[in-house]
Amino acid sequence: MSTRSAILGFPRMGANRELKRLVESFWSDNITESTLLEGIRELRKDHWVLQKELGLNIIPSNDFSLYDHVLDHAFMVGAIPKRYRDVFIKDENELPSTLEGDALSTYFAMARGYQKFNEGSDAPAIDLPAMEMKKWFDTNYHFIVPEFEPTQQFKLTSTKFLEEYKQAKSLGIETRPVFIGPVSLLLLGKASSNAQVGFAPIQLLDRLLPVYEEIVRLLAEAGASSLQFDESFLVMDLDPKLAQSYLTAYSRLSKVAEGSIKIQLTTYFGDITPNLSFIFPNLPISGLHIDLVRAPQQFDTILNAVAKHPTLQLSIGVIDGRNIWKRDLRAAFDIVSKAITTLGADRVIIASSCSLLHTPHSLAAEVELAPEIKDWLAFSVEKIKELVLLAKAANDGIDSIQAELEANQVSIQNRRTSPKIHNPVVQERLKGVTRDMMRRSPFSERKVKQHERLKLPRFPTTTIGSFPQTAEVRKARAAFRSGQLSKEQYDEFIKDEIKKCIRFQEECGIDVLVHGEFERTDMVEYFGEHMDGYVFTKNGWVQSYGSRCVKPPIIYGDIHLPKPITVDITKYAQLLTKKPLKGMLTGPVTMLQWSFVRDDQPRKLTTQQLALAIRDEVTNLETAGISIIQIDEPALREGLPLRRGEWQEYLEWAVDWSVFQYHGIRKSLVTIYSTQSSYLYYPFSFLLASSPVADTTQIHTHMCYSDFQDIIGAISRMDADVITIENSRSDLKFLHAESFAYPNEIGPGIYDIHSPRIPQQDEMKHRLKEMLRYLKREDTWVNPDCGLKTRQWKEVELALKNMTEVARSCRENV
Ligand code: GLN
Ligand code: ZN
């Protein structure tokens, strides 16, 4: 045997987002179920054939999904909440074991919700919301959160894994089926709402395992020789008691496998050494995969541990599955060689660090990228080529890839030294950053001056920034992009939209106005397009959730703002009204989180550069006479490291030592970080971006999409004069938090903008009164939850009129 190459999963969307087209056409009744199913069989086939032709040794199956692989697993083990069963499943025993017919309807209802209207009635006769969605570890992929009942009965409900395995086999392609391991599946889930306190899904492990045993049995019968079990939680802080769960699970599974089938345990996104005792010496597995891109520091420890178990294989994740850079093959080969020297060739597998789900399909479509920059990149297809080359070098000697290696080294060298990447002006400026640049006067002083200048009423009303992006707005933009509309015509169109938006807000009686963000498709893309150091792809899509994909821009070089971005448009809007108009910017952490970032410098440095660029724009707006500037940080929470012990580093710069003690985080927990896992310091970067202004300029920030209870202390240190924060779906959770004490002004969202429902005055009044149990009156703002971009104008009109009415009546009565 020899050293083999592997990936942990391939992107599902297809080279041209075929999967998106297929499922969306099916949802809108444009294609039949059999066309859909035929389409996905074709797509899977294409992907396997492609991997085979590229020369990849270990090709995954069951990594494909119609919507989400976590949902697939919940479905596979029969964790289908009763509310969905009741609607779709007449007879449990008649449910097809593949995803079709009633099974498919149930599956999509769990994913997307389901509404049925009876003729002539506006109110739905059946109204099932979708299951909860959450972010997959620290990625931007969202999964459906499985629900487990205390009395949960598990049953093998879908044999999709078998169908996929057999399909590939019939094409002459042997695959390694991929599963979420049983422990992680339970840990990913939540207790159903009727569960008693104290119930945790992991208690169901014994009941779940027979299903997994059956899976192993079925695949062994079908001829599979190895299975991949992703136990991603092994990189997290784990309760030591869970060690027993892992042991139970893998002992039982390995017994079924009985040597005929190899069980490969995969981990990624972090370091497993803190949980080493979960694996060594007892866990009966045939192979272990570790992520050496995110956590290279674990290599030696793991290598030594694996070496002691003569039959254990080690899969080394040396090609980054989360980012898009070409790998330095020589450096990667050094790691490979070291593993082979210690373990022998046939015990080493060369792999992607994690599934390639998080990288785009292939570079082939990027015909418009500057060739110099394109030469620095590798998407999924190119990453597989790198893996194949490394395996060849391992087996046939490094000389066997000499030509490729030379070309690779030229690209790596070019990137390292390119003047496109390195901007001396930016680097000089960074050196000059001082603490003073991040300091403003105490809030109490700023507050008095701002109130004097702005003269806002009590319970000031505002919105988060965007107004409906209607079909006309999108049409005009498309026409402008295709050249049908001139720049002047397009600008005129945008100005008209702004004018209407301002008129509406005035009519409504809103106190702090916005221009509506009609010129922006996306809050990161819009700013990135105007900064040096960013590049955009044509087809670099990655799945975000279900059929939704995002196209993260790429930060390849030093970030610099050559000229003002928002000043003209903001000034134009301000001239249309006497009320204060709020300038709208995207914050440095969000810019970073939603982009592919450089791997040649720590993330914190890139964030600092972004912060300086935003800082310039803040100054530009202030100079233009804008009195309120909002810097959005919706992605703030997701930048937190997976392990609590690492939060400190992320928070340290701007948060003083007392706060750590307050959060109970001990300095001794901090270990040495690689550049990859060295995270940014968000309050620091926010302060750098927001602090160049006078006391009289009011800085706002906005956050959404997550729970904030555990980081309120750090958010306070960002010291925005006003924070507007999503809260209506989380049920005032963060206000209830024991530690809650936001020192400045705050507007917790008073209604949920994610739903088309119009919030009524009574409920908003009730909500405001609830909020006032925790907040000071003079510090409380009234605003929606988030931007209004996805709503219809008629919904926005009614909702905001109700909202301003509530603020008005509360001014008098509360
Ligand atoms: N200002 C942005 C908007 O209103 C904020 C978006 C967000 O929080 N995701 O659309
Ligand atoms: Zn938001």
pLDDT in tens, 466-508: 999 999 999 999 999 999 999 999 999 999 999 999 999 999 9
Residue nearest to atom 3 of ligand 1 (CA): 787
In a 13 Å sphere around the CA of 80, the CA atoms on its Cβ side amount to 26
Q: Which atom of ligand 1 is nearest to the CA of 466?
A: 4
Ligand nearest to the CA of 729: 2
338-391 confidence digits (pLDDT tens): 999 999 999 999 999 999 999 999 999 999 999 999 999 999 999 999 999 999
| pLDDT score at 675 | 29
The closest of 532, 454, 440 to 718, measured between CA atoms, is: 440
| pLDDT score at 754 | 79
Exactly one of 142, 736, 754, 766 is catalytic; name it.
Answer: 754
Q: Which atom of ligand 1 is nearest to the CA of 584?
A: 1
The closest of 79, 121, 85, 116 to 103, measured between CA atoms, is: 85
Judge whether residue 667 has pLDDT over 50: no
Residue nearest to atom 9 of ligand 1 (CA): 634
671-707 confidence digits (pLDDT tens): 222 222 333 345 678 999 999 999 999 999 999 876 7
Interatomic CA distance for residues 758 and 375, integer angstroms: 51
User: Does 78 contact ligand 1 (Cβ within 6 A)?
Assistant: no
> Rounded to the nearest whole angstrom, what is the distance from the C-alpha of residue 356 to the centroid of ligand 2?
28
392-426 confidence digits (pLDDT tens): 999 999 999 999 999 999 999 999 999 999 999 99
739 vs 216: which has the higher pLDDT: 216
Residue nearest to atom 5 of ligand 1 (CA): 787
| pLDDT score at 726 | 86
The closest of 567, 570, 454, 466 to 512, measured between CA atoms, is: 454
| pLDDT score at 739 | 55
> What is the b/e burial string over 442-469, where b = at least 16 CB atoms within 10 angstroms of the residue's CB?
ebeebbeebeebbebeebbbbbbbbbbb
User: Does 201 contact ligand 1 (Cβ within 6 A)?
Assistant: no
The closest of 289, 397, 298 to 351, measured between CA atoms, is: 289
Interatomic CA distance for residues 733 and 397, integer angstroms: 59
Interatomic CA distance for residues 18 and 356, integer angstroms: 17
Judge whether residue 619 has pLDDT over 50: yes
Amino acid identity of residue 678, one-letter, is S
At 477, which helix (H) or strand (E)? helix 471-481
User: Mean per-residue pLDDT for 194-202?
Assistant: 93
User: Does 465 contact ligand 1 (Cβ within 6 A)?
Assistant: yes
User: Mean per-residue pLDDT for 136-153?
Assistant: 94
| pLDDT score at 728 | 59
DSSP state letter for 496 = H
**Considering the chain, what percentage of its residues have pLDDT values greater than 70?**
94
Whether residue 683 has a cis bond before it, omega within 30° of 0: no
> Rounded to the nearest whole angstrom, what is the distance from the C-alpha of residue 525 to the centroid of ligand 1?
13
Judge whether residue 82 has pLDDT over 50: yes
Interatomic CA distance for residues 806 and 782, integer angstroms: 9
If one residue of 517, 566, 593 were mutated to test the ligand 1 pocket, choosing by the most ligand atoms within 8 A of its CB, it would be: 517
Mean pLDDT of the chain: 91
Categorise residue 360: left if φ over 0, alpha if ψ from -120 to 50, beta otherwise. Answer: beta
User: Does 703 contact ligand 1 (Cβ within 6 A)?
Assistant: no
Q: Which residues are found with C-beta within 5 Å of the ion, ligand 2?
A: 634, 704, 786
Q: What percent helix, strand, coil does the chain show, rounded to 5? A: 45, 15, 40
Length of the chain as a residue count: 814
Judge whether residue 662 has pLDDT over 80: no
Residue 264 near residue 216, CB atoms below 8 Å: no
Interatomic CA distance for residues 653 and 678, integer angstroms: 13
User: Does 702 contact ligand 1 (Cβ within 6 A)?
Assistant: yes
In a 13 Å sphere around the CA of 381, the CA atoms on its Cβ side amount to 16
Ligand nearest to the CA of 586: 1
Interatomic CA distance for residues 742 and 722, integer angstroms: 10
User: Does 466 contact ligand 1 (Cβ within 6 A)?
Assistant: yes
If one residue of 463, 614, 632 were mutated to test the ligand 1 pocket, choosing by the most ligand atoms within 8 A of its CB, it would be: 632
User: Does 629 contact ligand 1 (Cβ within 6 A)?
Assistant: no
| pLDDT score at 729 | 57
| pLDDT score at 735 | 73
User: Mean per-residue pLDDT for 538-561?
Assistant: 95
Judge whether residue 653 has pLDDT over 70: no
> Rounded to the nearest whole angstrom, what is the distance from the C-alpha of residue 730 to the centroid of ligand 2?
13
Judge whether residue 200 has pLDDT over 70: yes
39 vs 711: which has the higher pLDDT: 39
CA distances to 1, 185, 304, 315, 396 from 345, rounded to whole Å, are: 8, 33, 16, 12, 11
| pLDDT score at 715 | 85
Q: Which of 239-253, 513-527, 746-760 has the lowest mean pLDDT?
A: 746-760
Residue nearest to atom 1 of ligand 1 (CA): 465
User: Mean per-residue pLDDT for 209-231?
Assistant: 97
The closest of 276, 293, 374, 279 to 328, measured between CA atoms, is: 293
| pLDDT score at 257 | 84
If one residue of 501, 510, 523 were mutated to test the ligand 1 pocket, choosing by the most ligand atoms within 8 A of its CB, it would be: 523
| pLDDT score at 472 | 96
Chain mean position to CA 382: 23
Residue nearest to atom 4 of ligand 1 (CA): 787
> What is the b/e burial string over 173-212, where b = at least 16 CB atoms within 10 angstroms of the residue's CB?
bbbbbbbbbbbbbbbbbbbbeebeeebebbebbeebbebb
Interatomic CA distance for residues 494 and 517, integer angstroms: 9
**Considering the chain, what percentage of its residues have pLDDT values greater than 90?**
80
User: Does 634 contact ligand 1 (Cβ within 6 A)?
Assistant: yes
Q: Which of 558-567, 752-761, 778-787 has the lowest mean pLDDT?
A: 752-761
Judge whether residue 602 has pLDDT over 90: no
| pLDDT score at 666 | 31
Q: List the alpha helices (DSSP H) in 347-442.
A: 371-374, 380-396, 402-417, 424-431
* ipTM surpassing 0.90: yes
User: Does 747 contact ligand 1 (Cβ within 6 A)?
Assistant: no
Residue 250 near residue 231, CB atoms below 8 Å: no
Residue nearest to atom 10 of ligand 1 (CA): 787
User: Does 584 contact ligand 1 (Cβ within 6 A)?
Assistant: yes
If one residue of 464, 522, 630 were mutated to test the ligand 1 pocket, choosing by the most ligand atoms within 8 A of its CB, it would be: 464
Q: Which of 194-198, 273-277, 280-284, 707-711 has the lowest mean pLDDT?
A: 707-711
Q: Clarify whether 754 is annotated catalytic.
A: yes
**Cβ burial, residue 417 (10 Å; 0-12/13-18/19+):** exposed
Is the four-CA dihedral 590, 596, 601, 602 of positive or negative sign? positive
User: Does 588 contact ligand 1 (Cβ within 6 A)?
Assistant: no
> Token digits for 104?
């498919």
The closest of 655, 622, 676, 783 to 268, measured between CA atoms, is: 676
> Rounded to the nearest whole angstrom, what is the distance from the C-alpha of residue 464 to the centroid of ligand 1?
6
DSSP state letter for 565 = S
Judge whether residue 660 has pLDDT over 60: no
Instruction: Tell me the CA end-to-end span of the chain in Å, nearest whole number.
Output: 78
Q: For residue 782, what are the β-bridge partners?
A: 461
Q: For residue 88, what are the β-bridge partners?
A: none
SS (H, E, C) 599-645: CCCCHHHHHHHHHHHHHHHHHHHHHCCCCEEEEECCCCHHHCCCCHH
User: Mean per-residue pLDDT for 634-642?
Assistant: 82
